[in-house]
C-alpha cells in the first residue's frame, strides 16, 4: 500500500497543476478507513477527484453505482460528460446502504474472516500470499497460473489470473461464501497435484 502521508504529499504537489484521481473503491476496508480518505483535500479546494463505488464492500457490482467527491466546477464538468439515463435501483440501494453502519461493520468483519480463511488454506499448502485489505488475496502457486486456473475450474472453483511474465505463478482468489471457500480448500490440493511446478 502507498504510504498515506506520501499520497497526501503527492496530491498537494500535483493537484495545483492537473487533476488527481484517487480511487477509493476499497477504502472502507482499510484499517482506520475514515482517517485514510483523501476527501479532506477536496474540502481544502485542491483539484482532487475521489472516486468511490458500491461494488465492493456493499456488494452492488451488478447495480453499477458509485460517486465522486470533487470541486464543484470539476463535478459540473464531469456531469456534463455523463448520459441522461438514471440508475434508479442503484441510486435507491446506495442511499439506503450509505448510512447503514451496522451493515458496513458486518461486511468488514465478514470479508476479514474470508481473507483469513484463504490465508489458512494457503498456509496449509505452504503457498506464499500477499496479505490484503480488499476482497481478494494474491497467491503464488509456484505453478503456471493459467494451468492452475484451468485445474481449479475442473473442480468448480473460479479464480482470476494475470498473464504476466513477471508473476507466472500468481493467482487471485476472491472472497466468497464460507461454502465456496470450503470448495476452494478441497479443490486446491487436487489442482496443485495436477499441475507441474514452474
Is the Cβ–Cβ distance between 20 and 9 less than 8 Å?
no
Which CATH code of 3.40.640.10, 3.40.50.720, 1.10.10.10, 3.40.50.280 fits the domain covering 4-99? Answer: 3.40.640.10
What is the value of pTM for the model shown?
0.86
Query: Which grid cell sits at 75?
Result: 463535478
φ, ψ dihedrals at 173, nearest 5°: -105, 120
What is the architecture of the domain spanning 103-194?
Alpha-Beta Complex (3.90)
For residue 189, the surrounding DSSP H or E stretch is helix 178-194
According to CATH, where is 3.90.1150.10 located in the chain? 103-194
In this structure, what DSSP letter does residue 141 have?
Answer: -
In tens, the pLDDT along 18-75 reads: 999 999 999 999 888 999 999 999 999 999 999 999 999 998 989 989 999 999 999 9
Give the DSSP letter of residue 22: E
Tens digit of each residue's pLDDT (9 = 90 or more) over 140-178: 999 999 999 999 999 999 999 987 889 999 999 999 899
CA distance 170 to 128: 9
**Which candidate, 13, 37, 17, 19, places its Cα nearest to that of 27?**
37
Alpha helices in 62-165, H assignment, sequence order: 72-79, 88-98, 101-124, 145-154
Residue 197 has pLDDT above 80, yes or no: yes
The string of pLDDT tens digits covering residues 83-122 is: 766 788 999 999 999 889 999 999 999 999 999 999 999 9
Amino acid at each position: 500500500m502507498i504510504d498515506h502521508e506520501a499520497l497526501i504529499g503527492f496530491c498537494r504537489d500535483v493537484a495545483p497543476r492537473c487533476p488527481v484521481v484517487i480511487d477509493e473503491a476499497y477504502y472502507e476496508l482499510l484499517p482506520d478507513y475514515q482517517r485514510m480518505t483523501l476527501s479532506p483535500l477536496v474540502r481544502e479546494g485542491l483539484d482532487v477527484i475521489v472516486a468511490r463505488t458500491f461494488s465492493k464492500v456493499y456488494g452492488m457490482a451488478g447495480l453499477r453505482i458509485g460517486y465522486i467527491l470533487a470541486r464543484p466546477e470539476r463535478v459540473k464538468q464531469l456531469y456534463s460528460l455523463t448520459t441522461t439515463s438514471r440508475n434508479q435501483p442503484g441510486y435507491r440501494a446506495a442511499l439506503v446502504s450509505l448510512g447503514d453502519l451496522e451493515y458496513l461493520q458486518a461486511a468488514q468483519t465478514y470479508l476479514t474472516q474470508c481473507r483469513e480463511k484463504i490465508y489458512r488454506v494457503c498456509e496449509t499448502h505452504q503457498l506464499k500470499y500477499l496479505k490484503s485489505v480488499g476482497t481478494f488475496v494474491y497467491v503464488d502457486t509456484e505453478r503456471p497460473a493459467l494451468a492452475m486456473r484451468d485445474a481449479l475450474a475442473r473442480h468448480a472453483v473460479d479464480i482470476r489470473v494475470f498473464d504476466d511474465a513477471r508473476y507466472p505463478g500468481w493467482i487471485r482468489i476472491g472472497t466468497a461464501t464460507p461454502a465456496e471457500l470450503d470448495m476452494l480448500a478441497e479443490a486446491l490440493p487436487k489442482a496443485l497435484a495436477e499441475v507441474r511446478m514452474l
